[in-house]
Amino acid sequence: MWLAPLLFIFVIGLIIVLDAKKPRNFPPGPAWWPIVGSLPEVSRWRKKLGTLTMAATFLAKQHGKGKLVGLRVGNDVQVVLASAELVKEMATKPELDGRPRGPFYRHRTWGLRRGVMLTDDEFWRDQRRFLTRHLRDFGLGKASQMETIIMREVQALTDYFKTAISNTADGKALIPLHNAFGVSVLNTIWAMLAGKRYDPDDAELCTLQKILSDMFASMDMTGCLFNHFPILRYVLPEASGYNYYMTCHQKLLQFLQAELLRHKTTYMEDSPRDFMDVFIAESNTRKDEDSNYTDIQLMAICMDMFMAGSDTTNKSLSFGFLHFLRQPHVVRKIQEEIDSVVGRERPVTLDDRHNMPYTEAAVNESIRVFAAHAIAVPHRAMADSTLMGYFIPKDTILAVNYNGLFMNEELYEDPWTFKPERFLNEKNEVSLPDHFIPFGVGRRRCMGDTLAKTNIFLFISNLLQTFNFENPKGRPLPDPFPIEGITPFTQLYDGVISLRD
């Protein structure tokens, strides 16, 4: 009679002990507790230091010589990397090119793994190749086409700021700068994908971006509660954030479905207008059941580009302008460079870039101060592997913590301060160190680095050519400490914009 309960207790005890056991030669890190893994230790340091990225940097210093830390959060076995050499080592191993599989990554695309950013293996290779080839036809990576598309947006935002200024008595407009660039930057990728643009204050798009940014703020790149503990989406769908996550994606889906319908009803076989048309043409030629070219896949790609393509660039600009308000001398130096190289009579173009090293360095510094609080899109080990001599079991999630790289005082002196000079050599030329890898390396490297840098350069240079940006009188300077989320946000802040004399 006692045997059954004793056996039950023994089995449960065994499961608990095994659940807390680390694989042999796994990267060092805090202890794993049954069920929750290292979550209590991560949460403790996250609370103490302010962000998950800072906690991960601290734990890597404490356990893994500042280079890496091995964790388990609920279901997910994770290794967080905090050194450029390890990111490069990861890139040499194709088996580490996978993307995570949990509900967080699957349910955004209707329970299927679709898109390009969060898929892997042959499906991803095929789709990445197709996307790269055809986005190029519509301008991605081609300097003159990108410049035309971006300059249209720079002009629209300039007009928008000028109208705001003309509506004031003293010629000084107070503008919320933390999200001033969202729609303009999205338009530059959307022009290639869907051949469409929106005004900076377009109500539908602003609402959609607000929904997405609220959702981004409610989770982080390593997943969220219902991903670490999948059972929660059934037992606590509201409290675990699952319902909210699904509602946000539903709204984005409705927006994309309307765009797809518009494309299908106006589609003309012989004259593709944008990437969506090319994809529709491809799917018409592949009617087989297991085709990768489905409506769902097209919408998933658009969703990826909507998020990856606009959010990161927009936030690099927001972080950059936040620091411009804090350090007016940086703005003065950029404006002096613009005045001496270009003057005020014509816009700044891409051809001017190689004569404007300080501005170009400020572009890279804007990316650094944004990425310094980010965890990159995680990888997944598709087979057993090794890193730095440690064992990486199949299905381990590998997350690059850019905080460990870009806030490392040994590599970036005074890392909280915006210093374009750190990217200039003694000959006053732009010089990027090998460890400055904000776009990743290898086969999964970012697909939009050129577009991002071109956007940031043309927006910063042309806006500073026309306007002065100042902190509102009587208000404290905006705080550079980030608000964390899937990608980091700046604190909410306003800038006073006026026309230059």
Would you count residue 451 as binding ligand HEM (CB under 6 A)? yes
Count H helices and E strands in the chain, helices first: 19, 9
- Under the binding rule (CB under 6 A), the answer on residue 220 touching ligand HEM is no
Name the residue nearer to ligand HEM (CB basis): 263 or 379.
379
Q: In the bound complex, which residue of the shown chain has the CB atom lying closest to ligand HEM?
A: 448
Residue in the block written with tokens 């990111």? 87
Of the candidates 447, 458, 463, 496, which one interacts with ligand HEM according to CB under 6 A? Answer: 447
* Alpha-carbon gap, residue 23 to 15, rounded angstroms: 15
52 or 232: whose CB is closer to ligand HEM?
52
> If binding is defined by CB under 6 A, does position 392 make contact with ligand HEM?
no
Q: Residue 405 CB, nearest distance to ligand HEM (Å)?
A: 11
Residue 57, number of CB atoms within 10 A of its CB: 24
**Shortest distance, position 372 Cβ to ligand HEM, whole Å:** 11
* CA–CA–CA angle 206, 211, 213 (5° rounding): 90
User: For residue 416, what are the contacts with CB-CB under 8 A and spacing of at least 6?
Assistant: 407, 480
Extract the annotated binding site. 446
Residue 446 binding ligand HEM, by CB under 6 A? yes
Tokens (6 digits) for 64: 């893994």
The pair phi, psi for residue 87, each rounded to 5°, is -65, -40
Q: How far apart are CA 298 and CA 300, in angstroms?
A: 5
Torsion of CA 132, 136, 141, 143, to 10 degrees: 180
Which residue has 């086969």 as its token pair?
Answer: 443
The 3 state secondary structure assigned to 344-381 is: CCCCCCHHHHHHCHHHHHHHHHHHHHHHCCCECCCEEC
Which of 106, 128, 251, 435 forms a contact with ligand HEM (CB under 6 A)?
128
Decide if residue 59 touches ligand HEM (CB under 6 A). Answer: no
Of the candidates 214, 242, 221, 246, which has an alpha carbon nearest to the alpha carbon of residue 100? 221
Subset of 355-374 contacting ligand HEM (CB under 6 A): 367, 371
Quick note: the x/- pattern for ligand HEM over 280-309, rule CB under 6 A, is: ------------------------xx--xx
Angle, helices 182-194 vs 312-326, to 10°: value is 160
Binding mask 174-213 for ligand HEM (x = CB under 6 A): ---------------x------------------------
Closer to ligand HEM by CB, 41 or 365: give it.
Answer: 365
- Alpha helices (runs of H) in 111-224, residue ranges in sequence order: 121-137, 143-166, 182-194, 203-217
Using CB under 6 A, which of 51, 312, 468, 490 touches ligand HEM?
312
Min. distance of Cβ 310 from ligand HEM in angstroms? 7
Which CB sits closer to ligand HEM, 338 or 367?
367
> Which amino acids are annotated as binding site for heme, given as ranges?
446
Amino acid at 162: K
Among 187, 227, 313, 465, binds ligand HEM (CB under 6 A): 313
Is 157 among the residues that bind ligand HEM (CB under 6 A)?
no
Nearer to ligand HEM by Cβ, of 319 and 493: the residue is 319
In the complex, the smallest distance separating the C-beta of residue 307 from ligand HEM, rounded to whole angstroms, is 9
Nearer to ligand HEM, 304 or 484 (CB): 304
Tell me the one-letter amino acid at 55: A
Question: Site map for ligand HEM, 86-125, x if CB under 6 A?
Answer: ------------------------------xx--------
Nearer to ligand HEM, 259 or 304 (CB): 304
The answer to whether the CB of 161 falls within 8 A of the CB of 173 is yes
What are the residues facing 37 on neighbouring strands?
A: 33, 73
- Paired with 398 in beta bridges are 79, 379
Q: How far is CA 288 from CA 236, 250, 264, 280, 284, in A?
A: 40, 28, 19, 14, 10
Q: Is 390 in the site for ligand HEM (CB under 6 A)?
A: no
The answer to whether the CB of 298 falls within 8 A of the CB of 260 is yes
Output the six-digit token pair for 246: 């699904």
In the bound state with ligand HEM, the residue whose beta carbon lies nearer, of 205 and 342, is 205
Q: How far is the CB of 172 from ligand HEM (least distance, A)?
A: 30
CA distance 237 to 243: 6
253 or 374: CB nearest ligand HEM: 374
Closest distance of CB 186 from ligand HEM, Å: 10
* Under rule CB under 6 A, residue 486 binds ligand HEM: no
Q: Is 316 among the residues that bind ligand HEM (CB under 6 A)?
A: yes
> Which of these segments, 66-74, 256-264, 352-360, 435-443, binds ligand HEM (CB under 6 A)?
435-443
Crossing angle between the packed helical segments 182-194 and 143-166, to the nearest 10 degrees: 140
Binding residues vs ligand HEM (CB under 6 A): 116-117, 128, 189, 304-305, 308-309, 312-313, 316, 367, 371, 376-377, 379, 438-440, 444-448, 451-452
